[in-house]
Amino acid sequence: MIPHDEDHIPTFDDAALEREWQAQESAMRRERLQLDPAGDDAHSRRYRLIARSLRQPLTESLPADFAQQLAARVGAIPSPAASASASFEFKLMLVLAATMAVAAIAVIAIYGSAWLPSFAALAPNPQAPATHWLLALAGCVGASWLLGLWQQRTHRHQR
């Protein structure tokens, strides 16, 4: 085992990364030796807190109010920067979806006459008995879906 005083210092291409690594290592060493944190700066105190947390054993179970804490985090109002970023990502996704739809329509218009008859041959014959059963199945699935939506809406209004 290598003593902690002789830790290998990796080479860094960026001086800022090296300073950050040195600050982390110094804080971890000071925490390990239990030196007085009075002279530490804010970064060192945070790194020492992380080092202290990592050295403590995990708790046996979740806290009693874990669900409430998690719900509060999830339900927290996002910052304006986060909502602006999400809005931008949503707009970008819409542009991508529209581009994909236009490309699909263009491909169908250009090459559809060559491969569309093959798909038409796969469709069931409208006069076959199986077609009536497929329509009945689709009707049952649709009715179940609509009934589920109706139940959710009435249950939501009763609260």
User: What band does 159 get if pLDDT is binned at 50, 70 and 90?
Assistant: low
Taking the C-alpha atoms of residue 146 and residue 29, their distance in angstroms, rounded to an integer, is 63
User: What band does 157 get if pLDDT is binned at 50, 70 and 90?
Assistant: confident
- The b/e string for 34-68 (b: 16+ C-beta within 10 A; e otherwise) is eeeeeebeeebeebbeebeeeeeeeeeeeeeeeee
**Per the confidence metrics, is the pTM higher than 0.85?**
no
Taking the C-alpha atoms of residue 124 and residue 138, their distance in angstroms, rounded to an integer, is 15
Question: So what's the pLDDT on residue 1?
Answer: 45
Per-residue pLDDT, averaged over 54-59, amounts to 76
Do residues 40 and 24 lie in contact, with contact meaning Cβ atoms separated by under 8 Å? no
Which is more confidently placed, 76 or 105?
105
